[in-house]
Structures are given as C-alpha cells and as structure tokens.
Amino acid sequence: MTPSPSHRQSLSRGSLRHRSRVLTPAFPSLAASLATVLIVLALVASIPAALAQQSPAPSPTPTPGTNQPPATAPSCVPYSAVTGGRPGVCSEVVTWSIPSAVVERARGIEQIFAKSINESERNAIQSMYPQCLDAMVRLTCLSTYPRCDAATPTTPRRSCVKPCTDVIQLCTVPLTIAKRIDLIPKCGDSPLAQALDRSSACHNPQLAQLGKLNNASLPCPDGLLEHPLGERNQFALAAAANRTDLGATCFGKCCLPCPRMNSFYAKGKIDTINKASIIVRGTSSVLALYVLLSYMFLPNKRKHPAIIVLFFSLALTAWMSNIWFSVPDPHAVQCAWETDQTTGATVYSQIQQAKMGNNTLCAIQGTFLMYFAHLSIVWASYLVLNLHLSAVWRSNFLERHFHLTSLFCWLWPLGWTLAAYLTQSIEYNTGVTCLVSSEKAMPFFFIPLIGIVGPSFVLHLVTFFFIGRASIRESESKDASQVTSQTGSKSAHDHYYGSSGPSQSQASANMRSGGSNGLRRGKHVAKAVKVQWRALLLALQLIICFGLFYATYRTQMQKLENVAGENWFREWIRCLTTERAGQDLCAARIVNDVPNYAIIFATDMVVSGSGIFLFVIFGLRMSVVYEWRTFFADLCGGRRKKQEPYANYI
C-alpha cells in the first residue's frame, strides 16, 4: 500500500526525528510499534537468502558461434533507490551503497515501519527517550541494509553486533518498567544472528550521536522538566564523574520537578497546603513560646507538676519553630543545593530533592525536627503517666525521682535522632520540612514512638475510667453520710426510749466509716484532676495527633514510594506525553491513586495547630494574665497583697 501524499510529507518533515520513537516504558500503546520492529527484523533474516539468489552462478564456457549473453552480476545502488528519491526511515543512517538485491524487500519494510507509529506517539517518544529510539532505528537500518562495495558486490558487509547491544543497554530499563522485557532483542538468536556480523570485518559506520540523528528536539511534556545533563541511561551514568542520577524521579531525559509530589496534583494545590502549613505552624510557634515564657518566669510554674508542662512547652515550641527554616522560600529545604556553572552561585536544583549530603539546611532542620517532635510526644506521655500514678495509685514516684526520670525523657529521643543522623537518613519527603527518610521512618521514628504512645493511651483510658468511678463513689459516699446522720439521730431517740439494740449502733458505725473513706478518696482524685486536667487534655490531643499522622503515613504517603512500577504512574505519563492533556487533567485521572488531598491537608493542619491548642488550654486563662500583671508589679518594685498569691495549678 502506497502512503498518501500527506503522509509522505509528514515523513519528510519529521525525518528520523519522528521515526525514531519506537519505545518508552511509560506508553503501553507502543507495544504494537515495538512488535512491528520485530517484524522488520524478521524480514531482515530473508535478505541473505535474497543475496544468494541473485549471486552469479558459474557461467558455462560459451560455445563458439553462439550468442548466449553472460549472466548479470549484482550491482550496488544508493539508498534512494528504495524510496524513489524521497527521504525514508533510514535516510540519516544509511549513507552507503546497498545491494540491489535488497531493494524490493526493503520497500516493504519501509512502508511497515513508516506506518507503525502515529504522530502523537512519535512526539511522546522523542520528548523522553530519544537515545533509545535512535538505537532501535539504527538496529533496524543497519541490519536491513548491508554495505555494498563496488569492488566486492557479491559479498556485502553486514553490520557489527554493537547496534544490538546498544538497544539492550538503552532500552532494558524502560522496557522493564513497562513489563515488556520480551521485546528486548536477543542478538545471538535468529533473525538478528543472521543479519549481524561478529567478525572484525563487520560494518561499523561512524554515525551521529545517539539521540541527535535530527538536531531538532521536542521539549518535555507539561509537568516534567528536562535534565540538564540530558537523557539518563547506563552510558551517561557510567561516564559521569559526579553521578547525579535521580533514580525514580527521572525517566529518559525528563524528570519530575522538585518537589515531585506537586506534579501529581493540579497546579497550585500542594502549594496551598504548604502556605497554610507555614502560616499555622508559625502562629503555633509564637503562641507556644508565650506559654513557655509564662512557665519559665512566673513563680510556682517551675515546680512539680507544673515543670512537666514547662518542658513540654519547650519541646513543642522548638518543634513548631522549625518552620522558620522554610521561610520565605520552602525550596530552601525541599530541593538540593547546586552550583550554577555560569555564575558560580549556589542555587536550588529544579529536579533533585534535598538530602543531608546536598542540602545543609535540610540536614539541620530535619535533625532538630526529629528530636523535638519525638521529645514532645515523650513529655506528653510523661504527663499522662504522672496523673495516672497520682490519681490511681496515690504515688509521687515521678516527683521523688524527677531528675532521673526527666533525664530519660531527654536522652530517649536523642538516641534515635543520632541514629538517623549518623546513617544519613535525614531528607525531604513531603510538606515544607525535612525529616527522616521514608525507608527509615518506621525503625527510627514511628516504632520508638509507638512504644511510648501505645502504653500512654492505655493508661489514659484507665485513668479516665478510674476518675469516673471515683466520682460515682464520692457521690455515693455523700449520700451514705447523709443517711448515717439520719440513722444516728433515730438511734439516739430509740435508745432514749429503750428500744435501740447494739446491732443498729454497729451498722451506723460501719456506714460512717465506709462513707468517710470513699469521701476522702474522691476528694483526692478530684484534687489531682483539678490540678492536672489541662495537661491531661493536652497530652490526649498530642497522642491523637501522632496517631493521625501515623495513619496518614501508612495509608496515604506510602502510595508515592516506587511510583515507576505502578500502573497509574504509566497512565499518568501517557496522559502527559501521548495525549498532551496537561497536568491538571492528568491529575484528575489519578486522584484515587495518590494520597488523598483532603486527608493530607487535615492531617497537616492538626499537626501544625498543636501550639495553638497548647495556648488555648494554658495561655488563655485569665489567671495567667493576672500572674503576669503581678509579676511585672513585683519586678518594678510594687507590692501585692498577701491574699493575692500566684496560682498553683498547672
């Protein structure tokens, strides 16, 4: 079938650039195109036979007097003989003469190859994997058209094996990601083995650099950025003195921009969360600092149990204040630092995310954030334990051994933070702050905290139910006291009339004793709750905050690990490249495959608002305002009345 004139014109304009898009792992629709290449290679196997058929047979000695013509010897023709003078698939590759025997068969190959890839597929391949595509085209052209020399037309020189091994080197990774390893050529099997020459006399032409058979190149699709060092493949990485390969963040010559999570959502959506997080955490840090200063300078706030809230406020203030590392530009901690080759200035990488080794600010922020986030949870659990021991067991163990127990609280997070730092596990993942890497998040962050938060939550429930039961007993004790008082009056009256027995006096005494014990215990519990209920509420909030953060990490954020092997990611790439639908429309197609936007927004706000919650519980009390007024009055030489002491509650 002869291609239409418009199709020929398209082939002429695109030349090899449009024909050199045979594969990419991200485009399942190209499987047919790759299969066509195999068909082409299968036809190549018949070329040696065609050459043999047209080789000159030994001519009999002509009989004198006869006019028998001599046999026609095979000749060498230019490549244009295949295409009729028009540009063809191999115009920029085959610059030598070819045997005339392959012309007719090659015309069929040209037509099959030219029709195998549509324009959108060609554009998609050229924009991402130009070197792999060029390698496939070269293999097809070199194995189809052996070199024909005028001196030895009957023994054309076949191509070397290197074009085949180039395809293996350049296309194994993308084909593996596409789960089409069956399309990787086998250079030692037929038909390739017959079309390639393994001897030193093979044809090894000097061709243009891979990926540049046509100087015009297409930009990366919308939502992706071009790697400054070009296509990342085995050849480029082996030759690079300073390896800057980005693993799963780059595909061919196109890379996910930093931070990569932004690419999977409509433009600006993740930036909205980041801006809100900066505002809320900044506010939390300021309000938590107010509570911290209140407990540092106001009298009676540095004694047990108020000192527990002081240490907790210190940890939470430092945790929330880590956000100022990301102000005014979050890219300062999100992306790697690199040196501009032109100006020599330090700039943020557009495609590489931050790690300890490439961003000092990220290393500092991540280390402090991990320690103080861990420390905040530890002190919140300490608050729960303190109330449990004082209310349930009437024990002041933590108060008597406060120096030893508080030392444990400070050192426990330090050990895990040092482990993460020494193993170079601090890096940027999501949000606007650095923390421990996703690979080490479980052993270095979540598991140690689960070992503390889990028992604390159980103790919290036990304490809650105990307080409820104690309140009921206190109420019953008051009722019993009232009944005892009435019974005592009646007993005196009966005894006066000689009608009261000893058993009634005994019962009255027992009731008074039981009611007194229950009342005393109820008052003790009430006092403990009155002193520490705010701290208990704050600890509960932080425990719930950690639980929500952990659940979001396990159910949502892990969806972004190893995305290259996911079906939804290949569909997303195909949407960007083949369909050219744009980032917003393509993000709508994978909304169920990436972390839920509402969940990550809510989780971030709950975590970021911890300092605000601390202020609401402890800082909004009028007693704190009064204590500050009294503090400044004393500081300035004023006198306060003895009947106006500082508050004693935490």
Other beta carbons within 10 Å of 111: 15
Contact 410, 342 (CB under 8 A): no
CATH 3.40.50.2300 fits 263-479+523-636, yes or no: no
Tokens (6 digits) for 376: 């905040």
Amino acid type, 593: D
Tokens (6 digits) for 210: 């891979």
Q: Which of 483, 502, 482 shows the shortest CA–CA distance to 494?
A: 502
Beta pairing partners, 225: 255
Q: Quote the pTM value.
A: 0.72
- Amino acid 589: pLDDT: 93
Distance CA(581)–CA(586), nearest Å, equals: 6
Contact 607, 600 (CB under 8 A): no
- Structural domain boundaries in the chain: 76-217, 263-479+523-636
Amino acid type, 123: N
Distance CA(357)–CA(341), nearest Å, equals: 19
Pairing of strands 98-99, 76-77: antiparallel
Pairing of strands 98-99, 426-428: unpaired
How distant, in Å, are the alpha carbons of 13, 245, 358, 363 from that of 352?
A: 36, 9, 9, 15
- Amino acid 302: pLDDT: 83
* H or E element in which residue 409 lies: helix 402-422
Pairing of strands 250-251, 225-226: unpaired
Contact 134, 87 (CB under 8 A): no
For the chain, give the number of residues.
Answer: 650
Residues of the chain with pLDDT under 50: 1-72, 215, 235-247, 483, 486-516, 642-643, 646-649
* pLDDT tens figures, 174-199: 666 556 677 788 898 878 888 898 88
Q: Give how far the C-alpha of residue 337 lies from the chain's centroid of Cα atoms, to the nearest Å.
A: 19
- Amino acid 96: pLDDT: 87
Other beta carbons within 10 Å of 566: 17
CA atoms within 13 A on the CB side of 169: 18
Beta pairing partners, 522: none
* pLDDT tens figures, 521-561: 556 556 556 656 777 788 788 888 999 999 999 999 988 88
Residue by residue, DSSP assigns 272-333 as: HHHHHHHHHHHHHHHHHHHHHHHHHHSTTSSSTTHHHHHHHHHHHHHHHHGGGGG-S-THHH
Contact 16, 9 (CB under 8 A): no
Q: Give how far the C-alpha of residue 80 lies from the chain's centroid of Cα atoms, to the nearest Å.
A: 52
Q: Give how far the C-alpha of residue 169 lies from the chain's centroid of Cα atoms, to the nearest Å.
A: 28
Tokens (6 digits) for 190: 């037929």
Residue by residue, DSSP assigns 186-239 as: -TTSTTHHHHB--STTSB----PPTT-SSS--PPPPTT-EE-TT---SHHHHHH
Find the Cα–Cα–Cα–Cα dihedral 488, 493, 495, 500, rounded to 10°: -70
Q: Give how far the C-alpha of residue 326 lies from the chain's centroid of Cα atoms, to the nearest Å.
A: 19
- Amino acid 189: pLDDT: 86
User: Angle, to 10 degrees, between the axis of helix 162-177 and the axis of helix 130-144?
Assistant: 140
Beta strands in 423-484 (DSSP E): 426-428, 434-436
Q: Which of 139, 44, 126, 127 shows the shortest CA–CA distance to 93?
A: 139
Buried b (16+ CB within 10 A) or exposed e, 429-460: bbbbbbbbbbebbeebbbebbeebbeebbebb
* pLDDT tens figures, 351-374: 889 999 999 999 999 999 999 999
Contact 42, 192 (CB under 8 A): no
3 state SS of 614: helix
- Residue holding tokens 């997080």? 277
* pLDDT tens figures, 595-641: 999 999 999 999 999 999 999 988 888 888 888 888 888 888 655 55
Contact 491, 570 (CB under 8 A): no
Amino acid type, 191: P
Contact 488, 504 (CB under 8 A): no
Tokens (6 digits) for 37: 């290449």
